[in-house]
Structure formats: structure tokens, C-alpha cells
Homo-oligomer: A and B are copies of this chain.
Amino acid sequence: MKTFSIAKSRRLRSTPYTSRIEKQGVTAYTTYNHMLLPAAFGSLEDSYHHLKKNVQIWDVAGERQVEVRGKDSAKLVQMMTCRDLSKSKNGRCYYCPIIDDDAGIINDPVVLRLSEDRWWISIADSDVILFAKGLAIGNKFDVKIFEPNVDIMAIQGPKSFGLMEKIFGEKITNLKFFGFDYFDFKGTKHLIARSGWSKQGGYEIYVENTKSGLELYDRLFEIGKEFNVKPGCPNLIERIESGLLSYGNDMDLYDNPYECGFDKYVNLDSDVSFLGKDKLKKIKAEGINRKLMGLIIDANEISMTKSLDVKDENNNVIGELRSACFSPHFNKVIGIAMINKPFYTPSQNVKVDINGNICNGKVCDLPFI
């Protein structure tokens, strides 16, 4: 496939780590929240194998924070998500689909409750800050909304635990999944969560003190030698195999949470009020007409730049493939597709045209592994 260069400018913001990853061999970027997000350090497949066995440091500063603080902050955050946050606790992360009044998905962030009146919404790629500002202004809420100076670096892979323990001590190994706390590095406190956009385990460091964060970045690579550390980035293959959805790729404003399998994050029976609740009740009562499913396709390679039609055996379009890659685990192409009713059942046979080759495949449940 032809490659094209990315034209950099201030508008595609660099991160504090950009100059480092460029020395370390980044080869491709995507953009994420108006920021450069590394997308490859050479071969995706090599990086995938490395991530599953070792530890990687990722520049994911593009996962920007929307900070909401003030008297009405809890009310505003709850208004934006169909997940009941009334029993949420300080020091915990919550995966929260943000939806509009028509139940269309605006973002699928992780929400961090810093305190009862201070929240970080750690966003996927859309300007949630503008939605929050619009709602707050329209409702005359007493809140401050802004993007704080936070640049996340992620430590991912099975050896991340050993590496982080060497730097932060045993205490960090007690952090539970989706918990966060503050940890000291040479006198500077860093908020660290046990989280990250892979299923290989690890941490995300929410760097507010840039100077200390860069020192920590360098230290992680120094200490990391014995753990075979490498620079990396969210890996297309690993995230698809693990069924981690990507906003903008797998779902968008024109999909609702039930279509995306977010049933457990839709709390219709709670008393809390949020946007789109009535619409979600209606969708639940009537049932969905399509659903995000996995596809396993008899093919050896794919490079997607936009959706591909998914057809049944009679060549009727029954859905669209939205993300896909060659999976070393399955030795086939796997992908995430929005499939129409009644075809969204496992084992449904499908056909996909990959570069002029009509390939056979089957629908399956997500996640793949």
C-alpha cells in the first residue's frame, strides 16, 4: 500500500515525549484529540509479539483530560454518561460511554474521580470539552471545565509490573485494576492508574509535572533494559484480538451503546438522570437492529483505510467491517464489524472484498480471545 507523510504543524500538537520517540524510531503517526499519537515503530507484528512478552513505554498524551470541577461537577459528569456514577469512589477509574440526547455515542472515556467535585474525563478522539461546556452553559451549572496539563505515558505488557515495582516499590503492585493513587518519583507525586489500552497488563502515568515526567520516562528505559523494554504504542493487532473498541473506528455518533455491546454500562434502573435515558429505554424495549461483532476471515493480509461492505452468501450487504488486521494468533484476518439483524449471530457466513479478492469469513462474538 502507498504511504503518505503526515504534515506536522502546531495544530497537530507535539507531546513532551515527541522528540524522544522520534529518536527511538517511531515510523508512523495518527492524530488523536488534535495531537500526534505514535502508530508504529517499524513492524506492527514485531511490536505485537514484543508487547505480549515484555514491556513497552507508550506516548499516549493524545488521551487528553477534560477536568470538571466545582459544585455541580458530579451532576454534569453524570448527565453525560449512561453509567450510574452515584456510588463511584475517589481513586477509581470508570469506563463510561458518553451519549447525547438521542443516545448516539459521543465518546467512550475512562472517568477518574479525583474527589467529589473534581473529575478527569480521559477521552477518546472527540472534543468532549465542547460538549461539556455547552451543557454547563445551557444548564447554568457552577463548574469549571478545562484541559489540564496532563500527558499520559503508558507502561504496558506483562513485565510492566516488575519494572514499575523497581521504580515505585512494592506499593504499586497492590494497585487494583482501574484503581489509581499517587506515587513518588524523586520527590514528585505522579497519579498512576492500573489501566491502559491493551490487555497485557500495565499502568498509565498521568504526568502533570513535565520535567519530572521526562526524567521518569528516561529512567523507565534505563531500568527497563533488564525487562527488555521498548518504545511502543497502542497496537492494532493486540487491541483487535483483545476486543478493545476504538471510538471513530468501531463506533461513532450514529451508533448507540446497545449496538456496541455496552449493556453493562447502561444503568436504566437507577434513579440518576442522564441524557438519552428515555431513548435508551425505547431502544431496549424495541431491541436493536444491528450489533458490533467479530469477523474471522480467510485471508492473510488486510490494510483498512475505511469501512468495507460485509455480504452474505447471496451478496446482500449485511453490515460493514470497521477495523481489521492479520492476527498471528488465529493465522487469519480478524475484524470488528457492525452487522445487521438477524445476521449478527456467531457462525453466520460472510464475504468481504479485500483488494479485489472475495474472502470467506464467519461472524463471532467479541472479544476474540
Contact = CB atoms under 8 A, between A and B. Distances in A.
Interface stretch (A20-28, A109-117, A158-166, A210-218): A20-28
A28 B10 contact: no
Contact of A130 (B2, B6, B134): B134
Interface stretch (A29-37, A82-90, A180-188): A29-37
Interface of A: 2-14, 18, 22, 26-31, 34, 39-40, 100-101, 106, 125-139, 246-249, 253, 275, 304-307, 322-323
A31 to B, nearest CB: 5
B6 A125 contact: no
Given A10-B248, A11-B249, A127-B131, 20 more contacts: A3-B6, A4-B27, A4-B28, A5-B29, A6-B29, A7-B28, A7-B40, A9-B305, A10-B304, A10-B322, A14-B306, A18-B305, A101-B133, A127-B127, A128-B130, A129-B253, A130-B130, A132-B134, A133-B134, A135-B138
A324 B291 CA distance: 47
A285 B248 CA distance: 44
* Most chain B beta-carbon contacts within 10 A, residue among A13, A136, A137, A323: A137
Contact of A306 (B13, B27, B131, B253): B13
A355 to B, nearest CB: 13
Contacts of A6: 3-6, 28-30
13 contacts: A4-B6, A4-B27, A6-B6, A13-B306, A100-B137, A101-B133, A106-B130, A133-B134, A134-B134, A134-B136, A135-B138, A137-B275, A138-B138
A211 to B, nearest CB: 17
A347 B175 CA distance: 58
B5 A28 contact: yes
A316 B2 CA distance: 46
A306 B126 contact: no
Contacts of A13: 306
* Most chain B beta-carbon contacts within 10 A, residue among A128, A138, A249: A138
A197 to B, nearest CB: 14
Contact of A134 (B2, B10, B131): B131
A39 B29 CA distance: 15
A293 B204 CA distance: 40
Contacts of A100: 133, 137
Nearest to A30: B7
A138 B126 CA distance: 19
B10 A323 contact: yes
- Smallest CB-CB A-B distances: 10 pairs: A138-B138, A134-B134, A11-B248, A7-B39, A127-B127, A130-B131, A134-B135, A8-B305, A6-B6, A3-B5
Contacts of A275: 137
